[in-house]
Structure 1
């Protein structure tokens, strides 16, 4: 079998950068995408060390950029790994801001679905036929015991139902969908108080991805392979 290809969004730092490094060192062809390559010093340094990394500028809220990238990439995409996302403001009920909420939804929901729309054919044409999206336990309705974070919680709950529909709609083409919660990871989004490093989180998620045939398409699981209630 020829070398397989993974496309990773939000590849410039944190979880996305760690995914990029691990898959590249496992000899995958990695298409690493981020909004601003000029500012992505660590990603550019990694790409110089590992020639199987291809860098692409991509803003997932820009459908034209997504379309252009889909036209540019000729090979099948074995794994479409949708990691890019934003947290938005940490809101109490009195602080809800419609503009912030729409911005978060545009990235965390609409942008992810746009990526799938334009890349579904390339995933379908591949060997693995996987779509993996990073969601969050904060999108679990059953698990919400602390309230707040309206924009982020709502966007991740919406993303989960969108991905469940994608899993159903693409099942006839043999595409498998995984919805993963990375845990509370030390990233710029979560801050330094988070207990988990990116390597532990990503290693756990890759183990699930590698064994995707053991899980129903559309499964919602955390990095420790525990099923998360909707």
Structure 2
């Protein structure tokens, strides 16, 4: 039986490559984009393209309604943002914090909870989002990146709670670390996106229920808390 994966923020970068590699691997792919009409590259992967503004509750509700009764084996809440990464503390604004937390922390959590019935209806029952080495408190020995770090650390905490609560229902909630990938977000710095995604795909396809609550890198190594 063909497995189904839903990838949010799939119109470019990591999300687009995830859609491409999973589709090539025989998965049924649902990819979301803010502007489906402009997501031609995503459509070319063979994915079903659906609209989603991940920070908008009404948009999540509309997506949930469209997907009613559709089993989703794997959810990857990929949509995320980063900006002003090098800003000193005095230049970080309240608006910066709110925007990044809304997108990187609240939106994945709300999407996962909204699509829980679809996950439960599937065979694999996997719920994931994108964490980062920047989320690690113990590994932070150089500072900077205040809003991004905070958003990902908070994501880790909420996802760990989901993992504990949903495990008895057979759901494996875990987080992925793509590494620093050469995309528009990183201004082309980092590893090739195909390498990162190939590693994450291998992680997803090899998951078991014992992996709930882990933060697993594209290289198979866990991120320290």
Under a length normalisation based on structure 2, what TM-score does the superposition of the two structures give? 0.95
Q: 1:29-178, aligned counterparts within 5 Å?
A: 29-44=28-43, 46-47=44-45, 50=46, 53-73=47-67, 74-90=69-85, 91-178=87-174
Q: 1:8-19, aligned counterparts within 5 Å?
A: 8-19=7-18
Q: Indicate conservation of the 8 Å contact 2:52/2:60, yes or no.
A: yes
- Displaced runs of 4 or more, over 3 A: none
Query: What is the Cα deviation at residue 119 of structure 1?
Result: 0.2
Query: What is the Cα deviation at residue 214 of structure 1?
Result: 7.4
Show structure 1 runs of 5+ residues with no match: none
Equivalent-residue separation in structure 1 for 2:23 and 2:14 (angstroms): 14
For 1:12-62, what per-residue CA distance to the aligned partner results, in whole angstroms no more than 9, with x for missing partners? Answer: 111100110111112211110011223333223x14xx3xx2101100101
Secondary structure in 2 aligned to 1:212? coil
Query: What is the Cα deviation at residue 75 of structure 1?
Result: 1.2
* Worse-matched range after superposition: 173-182 or 34-43: 34-43
For 1:69-93, what per-residue CA distance to the aligned partner results, in whole angstroms no more than 9, with x for missing partners? Answer: 1111131100011111001322211
Does 1:184 pair with 2:180?
Answer: yes
For 1:93-152, what per-residue CA distance to the aligned partner results, in whole angstroms no more than 9, with x for missing partners? Answer: 111110011000001111011101110111011000001211111010011111111100
Show structure 2 runs of 5+ residues with no match: none
Equivalent-residue separation in structure 2 for 1:133 and 1:150 (angstroms): 20
Query: What is the Cα deviation at residue 215 of structure 1?
Result: 4.6
Q: Indicate conservation of the 8 Å contact 1:88/1:101, yes or no.
A: no
Equivalent-residue separation in structure 2 for 1:132 and 1:8 (angstroms): 10
Equivalent-residue separation in structure 2 for 1:122 and 1:38 (angstroms): 25
